[in-house]
Structure 1
Amino acid sequence: MWRMPAETAPHDRTWMAFPREGLTLGDSDAEREEGYATWTAVAHAVLEFEPVTMVVDPSEMTRARRMLDSSIEILEAPIDEFWMRDMGPTFVVDPDRPGVLGAVDWIFNGWGDPAWAEWRKSARIGRIAGEAAGAEVISSLLVAEGGGLHVDGAGTVLLTDTVQLDPRRNPYADRAGVEAEMLRTLGAERAVWLSRGLTRDYDEFGTNGHVDIVAAFADVDHILLHDQRDAAHPDHEVTAIIRRELEEAYAADGRALRITSLPAPATLRDDDGIVDWSYVNHLVVNGGVIACGFGEEAADAEAREILTEAYGGRRAVTVDARPLFARGGGIHCITQQQPSTPRV
């Protein structure tokens, strides 16, 4: 049976996609340069800990080769979006077949096919990247994105009703059907369903409730939870609801749950409204954690300390993620880990 390891399991590499011109990158030269620089900064931060493979659109090959460290492997392929967690494969292993890597190729429709989205080229990346990694490609008929799920590696997956059961994604799905597909593809025997995600994620350019911005497994039965402590922000109530849902789900199964709060930064708004800045949207790498930074020195430092302790002393480094969040995501959203495959 296929199984998705926890993000804390050893990685062979991290996959990313280099930005290309279009709506997401921005209209002005300054916006575009900011986007290129931020994706590059994340790639170089990851490279300190493990290899990186970057999918690059043919139109951006010259720029990518100029900006990226020469040790970063480049896979040239047409793309129109570059959120690798969502458009790319979800990598899995088969404990019964040592050395075998799998790649779940979900259907990607640009987070529900909104009018603004360009996604048809990127919808092919799950298979392209999976084959390039030497994986067995596991086709799925479920519209899903990697940011919409999080596993503990021991059979539990976190999901949200407003993503998996979104009528723009899966109009005929129900919880039982989704859970059956999570079992088949990820080896998840138990789903913990959350009712929603953070508030801004429901605006025109949001994902409609991705879980990887609000909750993440640090270990089995240990969840890192976004904690908006300012009652003036609507996510103050949202995070209280999610905490209660998590506690009730684990209590119903007779399992003890440890929740570690990751306090939100102090900033409540940007030019487009309330923010969803979250330290939960980090990437665990071999020996480290790539953490989102928001230009708030004390809050960023506190997040690093919490992440270091939660992950058993891994070294946490911060990359300014404000340009990512302004475009609709964070560090976890633009990366995808490829787990090491167990060998005899």
Structure 2
Amino acid sequence: MLDEITETYEEMAREISKREPLLIVAPKNVGSTVNYQLSTINSNDTWARDHGFITLVDDQGDARLLDFCFNGWGEKFESELDNAINRRIYDEGKVKGEYVDCLDFVLEGGSIESDGQGTIFTTSCCLLAPHRNQPMTKAEIEARLKRDLCSERVLWIDYGHLVGDDTDGHIDTLVRIAPNDTLLYIGCDDETDEHYEDLKKMEEQLKTFRTMAGKPYKLVKLPMPRAIFDEGERLPATYANYLILNGAVLVPTYNQPDLDAEALKLIGEAHEGREVVGIDCRSIIKQHGSLHCCTMQYPKL
């Protein structure tokens, strides 16, 4: 199992390092042939998306590195080591910008999507879940998001959850923002699938959303991978957990040629001008995450 995961990470690292600098956080030198920087730091888990800095860049090109609290997705798992990584890589000079202490508020990078123009998308089942920011109310949480992320509004998605997901419904497994006011979302056409009803409700809610200009979003439905199981447990496989790079998009695939090809095509069309690269994520999904979950991007300054 470890060899399979290592092979997948090697492939992902190779594709990233072709296009932009790569920083790897690991407890020891990983001995890879890929060109990367290394920060030797112990961690609890592998999901950089959720404990990494959330970065804001202003009109002058200056960055603010927001260090939110990560508490293991609502105190489900140990997180003390992960929660210390941001400060370490900042002190080492591996990331540049103004450090902003937001550790009094729990927020995971996978739980939000931003269009960069004033709108934040999130899911109520995650941000309002127990053991995150209680006793704060929804209105108080929304106000905090708008303040810290310099946003004008928050659109809350009230439906959608993948079986096997430990995060309480991260948006990066369900709905992603693309150029030209496009939302890519996971759909389910199989009425016998346990996701069908909830994802249908999510689809209907997305149809009610409007852009800042008052126009409907362009909706693109991604296929739902056929059920994948590990030791009798269904895994949260999704094509929405893709990673956008400079000039490319890395898309998780699951050895389901017809659905993989459909997802690659739809994501490529939505992100026109970027090379679309499929990465077999059957090993990573056994850990209940995928490409977007285990990475976090930082701006070039």
Q: What is the 5 A alignment of 1:113-132? A: 113-114=75-76, 117-131=77-91, 132=94
Structure 1 residues 167 and 80: alpha-carbon distance in aligned structure 2, compared to 1, 3 A threshold:
same
Deviates more, 1:326-335 or 1:157-166: 157-166
Using structure 2 for the length normalisation, give the TM-score: 0.92
Q: What is the 5 A alignment of 1:21-170? A: 31-57=1-27, 60-61=28-29, 64=30, 66-69=31-34, 71-95=35-59, 98-114=60-76, 117-131=77-91, 132-140=94-102, 141-170=104-133
Structure 1 residues 191 and 149: alpha-carbon distance in aligned structure 2, compared to 1, 3 A threshold:
same
Distance across 2 between alignment mates of 1:169 and 1:329: 20
Q: What is the 5 A alignment of 1:1-344? A: 31-57=1-27, 60-61=28-29, 64=30, 66-69=31-34, 71-95=35-59, 98-114=60-76, 117-131=77-91, 132-140=94-102, 141-201=104-164, 206-219=166-179, 221-250=181-210, 254-267=214-227, 269-341=229-301
Distance across 2 between alignment mates of 1:314 and 1:293: 17
| DSSP 3-state at the match of 2:117 | coil
Whether the 8 Å CA contact 1:106–1:126 is kept in 2: the answer is no
Structure 1 residues 83 and 42: alpha-carbon distance in aligned structure 2, compared to 1, 3 A threshold:
same
Using structure 1 for the length normalisation, give the TM-score: 0.81
Aligned Cα RMSD in Å?
2.0
| DSSP 3-state at the match of 1:216 | strand
Structure 1 residues 331 and 102: alpha-carbon distance in aligned structure 2, compared to 1, 3 A threshold:
same
| DSSP 3-state at the match of 1:200 | coil
State the Cα distance separating 1:339 from its structure 2 match.
Answer: 2.4
Distance across 2 between alignment mates of 1:191 and 1:318: 31
> Which residue identity does 2:251 align to in structure 1?
A
CA-to-aligned-CA distance 1:183-210 (integer Å, 9 cap, x gap): 22222211110124323145xxx11111
CA-to-aligned-CA distance 1:138-172 (integer Å, 9 cap, x gap): 22221111001111111111111121111211111
State the Cα distance separating 1:268 from its structure 2 match.
Answer: 5.5
| DSSP 3-state at the match of 2:75 | coil
Runs of 5+ in structure 2 lacking a partner? none
> Which residue identity does 2:288 align to in structure 1?
G
| DSSP 3-state at the match of 1:134 | coil
CA-to-aligned-CA distance 1:86-131 (integer Å, 9 cap, x gap): 0111121122xx24211111100111112xx221111112333345
CA-to-aligned-CA distance 1:24-75 (integer Å, 9 cap, x gap): xxxxxxx222222222221112222222111112xx32xx1x2241x21111
Distance across 1 between alignment mates of 2:174 and 2:183: 10
Deviates more, 1:251-260 or 1:119-128: 251-260
Distance across 2 between alignment mates of 1:198 and 1:277: 11
Distance across 2 between alignment mates of 1:251 and 1:146: 22
Structure 1 residues 253 and 247: alpha-carbon distance in aligned structure 2, compared to 1, 3 A threshold:
farther
| DSSP 3-state at the match of 1:284 | strand
| DSSP 3-state at the match of 1:225 | strand
Whether the 8 Å CA contact 1:282–1:292 is kept in 2: the answer is yes
Whether the 8 Å CA contact 2:146–2:154 is kept in 1: the answer is no
Structure 1 residues 278 and 86: alpha-carbon distance in aligned structure 2, compared to 1, 3 A threshold:
same
| DSSP 3-state at the match of 2:96 | coil
> Which residue identity does 1:306 align to in structure 2?
L
Distance across 2 between alignment mates of 1:129 and 1:265: 36
Distance across 1 between alignment mates of 2:36 and 2:13: 8
